[in-house]
Homo-oligomer: A and B are copies of this chain.
């Protein structure tokens, strides 16, 4: 885990502990909270075209920026409670994806691996 992420996870753990919120932070509940935060991003983009979603006005962009932060915060918290190293997990997953989606086979095609 990078130093920056570890420090952030410790801040979040201290934030929860100071408020006696660990009792609410079961992985089950944190997964629910994570899904709610993602939905707040989806809500900002749902009626936009794909092109519009790439060119947000300043106000919406700032809202989305802070909702991305919320997702990041709950993801770090959930990973912490499950003792998962997110950077190592991402490395492992990217290695898997490189085997599952070889460049020459999937170029320009977003179908799922299982559809091949």
Q: Which residues of A contact B (CB under 8 A)?
A: 2-5, 8, 11-12, 15, 18-21, 23-24, 26-29, 31-36, 38-43, 45-51, 53-54, 56, 61, 64-66, 68-73, 75-76, 78-79, 81-82, 84, 86-87, 89-90, 92-94, 96-98, 101, 103, 106-108, 110-111
Number of copies: 4
CA A28 to CA B33, docked complex, whole Å: 12
> Least Cβ distance of A37 to chain B in Å?
9
List chain B residues, Cβ under 8 A from A79.
68
Asked if A19 and B103 make an inter-chain contact with CB atoms under 8 angstroms apart, the answer reads yes
List chain B residues, Cβ under 8 A from A71.
34, 71, 75
